[in-house]
Chain A
Amino acid sequence: GEDVEQSLFLSVREGDSSVINCTYTDSSSTYLYWYKQEPGAGLQLLTYIFSNMDMKQDQRLTVLLNKKDKHLSLRIADTQTGDSAIYFCAESGRLTGGGNKLTFGTGTQLKVEL
């Protein structure tokens, strides 16, 4: 079955870059996602990457995908205190009833220090 793993915590200084890593198991995943969860809130889609891409850049965010190693990373440039949140990696997989489901990692708590 699908399994997605992430480290639980990351602490960085404001202005530095943050790199959050994720490994997944389902090689058939077409899309891989990064979601952000702020305290007391639901998850919001941050960015995603199609499985035939190696990299995607979106302003301060860079997603790198190594499909051979099933490794996904999210780099946040110039990290700000507002970036403090839990970041979830997710892979898409097929539901037996049709359509896709998201399998989430455990989430990485990013703490940005002044």
Chain B
Amino acid sequence: NAGVTQTPKFRVLKTGQSMTLLCAQDMNHEYMYWYRQDPGMGLRLIHYSVGEGTTAKGEVPDGYNVSRLKKQNFLLGLESAAPSQTSVYFCASSYNGGNTEAFFGQGTRLTVV
């Protein structure tokens, strides 16, 4: 049982390049989330999904897009990377989005130069 798996683990991008971060969960969870973690700021919610085929904006959605074509996968896209998007990105999932435990992936460290 792998839990929540993120790929890649590390990436360096040039300003203006695009990339997709993949999150996969094998727990049949309905809810999935993308957070970014920056020093001294905790984790901030970028986008989330309450089920297959649905997505919604979180606190800091600008510059990102997401898709949830399959229940087990939640993709985060950066169309034109900017240095301000240098961060550690975490994907999480939970069973029903209620007050249940959220399971986190190991994180993707992204540097935009």
Per DSSP, chain B at the interface is: loop
- Tell me the minimal C-beta distance from A74 to chain B in angstroms: 16
Q: How many residues of A contact B (CB 8 A)?
A: 25
**Given A105-B42, A106-B40: A96 touches B106 (CB 8 Å cut-off):** no
Is there an interface contact between A106 and B106, defined as CB atoms closer than 8 Å? no
Shortest B92–chain A CB gap in Å is 8
Chain A residues with CB under 8 Å of chain B are 4, 8, 30-31, 40-45, 48, 88, 92, 95-102, 104-107
Known: A42-B92, A100-B99, A106-B42. 8 other contacts (CB 8 A): A40-B106, A42-B105, A42-B107, A92-B99, A99-B31, A100-B98, A102-B45, A104-B44
A-B contact pairs, 24 of them (CB 8 A): A30-B99, A31-B99, A41-B106, A41-B107, A42-B4, A42-B90, A42-B106, A43-B43, A45-B101, A48-B99, A88-B43, A95-B56, A95-B97, A96-B56, A97-B48, A97-B50, A97-B54, A97-B56, A98-B50, A98-B97, A99-B31, A102-B45, A104-B44, A106-B41
